[in-house]
Amino acid sequence: MNLNKEVLQSFIHNPFPYLEQFSQGNNVQWVHLFNTSGWLVTGYKEVETVLKDGRFMKEIRNLLPPDQIFTPPAHLMPAVMTVRNMMLFKDAPDHTRLRSLVTKAFTPRMVEKLRPTIKSLASYLMEQRRGKEQHEIIHDFAYLLPVMVIAELIGVEKEDRDQFRIWSEAFIKFIDFNTTAEEWEAAAPHVEEANNYFRELIKKRRLEPANDLLSGLITAEEAGDKLTEQEIISTCLLLLIAGHETTVNLITNGYYQLLKHQDQYEKVREDRSLLSNLVEETLRYDPPVLLTSRWVGEDMNLFGVEMEKAQMAFVVLGAANRDPAVVERPHEFDIIRSTIKHLSFASGPHFCLGAPLARLEAEIAFETLLDHFHQPELMEEPTRRANVAFRGFETLKVKAEVKI
């Protein structure tokens, strides 16, 4: 079944009915989506298996001879190589090596040390809303909070943060399933601009190291690790983009669901012990990332179907989260579930490094909004961003009195 242009916007708005229709009751189904054929993997057990199985790979270059692989035009290659060098798109052993260098920055213990800083930043942003009654949650709060945190963690200059949104949107165009050739052309210069920015920042940190992640990656390289300058740049860009883009979606998706489910809003407003559940249920019900992909690494029989080497698998995290085999009332948003299972941070070797940080930022963001936005109301029904893999809004406009 093909997802044509006529239903694409509807899919972006609410993909779950389409995913059920595509799979036709089979959690592993051959489909044609986004001008590409592949295996649609939707069940919780099946998605988790694919994410953990080392026979499913990220790099198609490891599976096919060069003459069978699409090569982008030469002028796009600098941007393409920046993306390819991100550990998100690498297999072992390169992925293992890159991941080990940044894991220490995202341990739950180290992230917890950021709690006072994040709370202070959230309070500062809310103070800026004092006296205003209309708010655009993304521009005024949800984007600024995680971008401030990740910029400080990496060591990016404060005055340069405004560029992050442009770079992030360009990067996402390079990895979304529905990007056109024209969009690639438009996005490439921004990816290259980000690449050049970090190249210059690396030069500064070599001369004057600081207590930040970028300096740590440079030190690791110079201590004998085979981390190249391009790998450092790509790793920083990945952390910068993944460290705020998905968290923006998590915050805005969750707050939107609260405003659409007033009973849930009242429950968490009265009982802040439910904040953690709110974060997890948002991740399950309205995840920041709907789907990812893998390449079949070898011929195999899995879940009763014959898969061939170099075929694509659409791994739908959002559908796995709503699998009735593991979730009661899967299509209901309910923050008081006793057990909330989801795969929104993936699983296996590519489990999200920033998961503890995203959870903490979202929890503090929700608490801050609940504390200071009095009787919030949606000013209009928001529009989803025109992106298949990432689920977020263009804007989220709210009317509320701010109480400090």
Question: What is d(CA 32, CA 303) in angstroms, rounded to the nearest whole number?
Answer: 19
6-20, 311-325, 332-346, range with the lowest pLDDT: 6-20
Determine the pLDDT at residue 52: 97
Q: What pLDDT is attached to residue 349?
A: 95
What is the pTM (predicted TM-score) of this model?
A: 0.92
pLDDT of res. 8: 82
Output the pLDDT for position 119.
96
Q: How much is the pLDDT for 29?
A: 92
Token pair of 283 as six digits: 């991740």
- Which residues lie below 8 Å from residue 366, measured CB to CB, with a gap of 6+? 251, 254, 255, 258, 268, 275, 278, 279
Residues 182-206, buried b or exposed e (16+ Cβ, 10 A)? eebeebbebbbebbebbeebbeebe
With a pLDDT cut of 70, the percent of the chain lying above it is 96
CA-closest candidate to residue 93, choices 63, 64, 60, 54 = 54
Please determine, for residue 74, whether its predicted confidence score (pLDDT) is greater than 90.
no
Does residue 252 surpass a pLDDT of 90?
Answer: yes
Q: What is the Cα–Cα distance from 205 to 216, expressed in whole angstroms?
A: 10
Dist CA 155 CA 236 (whole Å): 10
Rounded average pLDDT over 237-250: 88
Indicate which CATH number applies to the domain containing 106: 1.10.630.10
Q: What is the mean pLDDT of residues 363-392?
A: 96
At residue 379 the predicted structure's pLDDT band, cuts being 50, 70 and 90, is very high
Give the pLDDT confidence score for residue 197 in this predicted structure.
Answer: 93
Q: SS3 of 80, please? A: helix
Instruction: Inform me whether the pLDDT recorded for 147 exceeds 60.
Output: yes
Sign of CA dihedral 102, 104, 107, 111: negative
pLDDT of 225 strictly over 70: no
Report the DSSP beta bridge partners of residue 302.
305
Reported residue count of the chain is 404
Distances (CA, A) of 386 to 10, 38, 47, 123: 10, 22, 24, 31
Q: Using 50, 70 and 90 to split pLDDT, how confident is the model at 265?
A: very high
DSSP string, 198-216: HHHHHHHHHHS--SSHHHH
Which of 281, 229, 183, 244 shows the shortest CA–CA distance to 82? 229
User: How many domains are contained in the chain?
Assistant: 1
pLDDT of residue 13: 92
**DSSP result, 83-115:** HHTSGGG--TTHHHHHHHHHGGGG-HHHHHTTH
Tokens of 402: 């701010």
Average pLDDT over residues 92-99: 88
- Gap between the Cα atoms of 321 and 404, Å rounded: 37
Structure tokens at 375: 């009787």
The per-residue pLDDT for 288 is: 97
Least confident span in 18-22, 290-294, 391-395: 18-22
In this predicted model, what pLDDT tens digit does every residue of 353-372 receive, in sequence order? 889 999 999 999 999 999 99
What domain range includes position 370? 5-402
Contact 141, 369 (CB under 8 A): yes
Q: How confident is the model at residue 34 (pLDDT cuts 50, 70, 90)?
A: confident
Residue range 159-209, pLDDT digits in tens: 888 888 788 888 888 777 777 888 889 988 998 999 999 999 999 999 999
